[in-house]
């Protein structure tokens, strides 16, 4: 094989791997947009508020809720990358939606909504983030590090997921 041929083959592999990365992002963005539409206010209101008793709350651990203020701190102070934070969001949202689903009886009118959300979150959560975002997930895996229990309304939990999603994905996936 001449060095020119080797170079050509190398270039080809480079282009192919670049293409697969790009198509990975495009596929992921399709799922992200689907999730984003599913999390629109109308749905959060109907499935997470109107279908529940008044002032109903769910017990979650404080650190299981990923808030905008925390994400901003991780970006600005800890230099966490957007990709790591996106994966952290997928992980924490998956966990929160499962907690909501856990309190719903099989025939509850909001159950299918949580199933639809988890259908997408379950595939996307495969990549675990590195850096400080990865450390946060490791901590969430040990029960004693999840923080104290707090009572939060289900809609407030998803309102929070939606706000953080908007912060982290609008640039990458052009959410509107």
Ligand X SMILES: *[C@@H]1O[C@H](CO)[C@@H](O)[C@H](O)[C@H]1NC(C)=O
Residue 53 · residue 160 · CB < 8 Å: no
Quote the least distance from Cβ 173 to ligand X, whole Å: 26
The residue among 58 and 175 lying less far from ligand X, judged by its C-beta, is 58
Which residue do the tokens 């495009």 mark?
26
SS3 30: helix
SS3 88: helix
Quote the least distance from Cβ 54 to ligand X, whole Å: 4
Select the residue interacting with ligand X from 112, 138, 151, 170 (CB under 6 A).
112
Select the residue interacting with ligand X from 23, 37, 109, 123 (CB under 6 A).
109
Quote the least distance from Cβ 35 to ligand X, whole Å: 18
Query: Counting contacts by CB under 6 A, is residue 55 touching ligand X?
Result: yes
- Please count the CA atoms within 13 angstroms of the CA of 98 that sit on its side-chain side: 12
Q: What distance in Å separates the CA atoms of residue 161 and residue 155, rounded to the nearest whole number?
A: 10
CA-closest candidate to residue 89, choices 72, 112, 110, 106: 72
Residue 62 · residue 146 · CB < 8 Å: yes
The residue among 29 and 132 lying less far from ligand X, judged by its C-beta, is 132
The residue among 109 and 130 lying less far from ligand X, judged by its C-beta, is 109
Select the residue interacting with ligand X from 20, 50, 79, 138 (CB under 6 A).
79
Select the residue interacting with ligand X from 1, 54, 126, 171 (CB under 6 A).
54
* Contacting residues toward ligand X, per CB under 6 A: 54-55, 78-79, 109, 112
């Amino acid at each position: 094989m001449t060095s020119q041929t080797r170079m050509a083959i190398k270039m080809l592999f480079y282009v192919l791997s670049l293409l697969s990365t790009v198509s990975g992002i495009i596929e992921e963005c399709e799922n992200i947009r689907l999730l984003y539409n599913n999390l629109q206010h109308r749905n959060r209101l109907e499935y997470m508020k109107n279908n529940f008793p008044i002032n109903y709350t769910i017990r979650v651990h404080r650190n299981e809720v990923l808030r905008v203020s925390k994400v901003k701190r991780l970006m600005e102070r800890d230099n966490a990358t957007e990709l790591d934070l996106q994966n952290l969001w997928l992980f924490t949202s998956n966990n929160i939606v499962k907690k909501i689903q856990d309190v719903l009886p099989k025939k509850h009118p909001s159950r299918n909504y949580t199933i639809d959300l988890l259908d997408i979150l379950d595939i996307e959560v495969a990549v675990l983030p590195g850096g400080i975002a990865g450390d946060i997930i490791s901590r969430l895996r040990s029960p004693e590090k999840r923080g104290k229990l707090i009572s939060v309304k289900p809609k407030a939990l998803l309102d929070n997921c939606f706000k953080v999603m908007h912060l982290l994905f609008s640039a990458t996936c052009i959410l509107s």
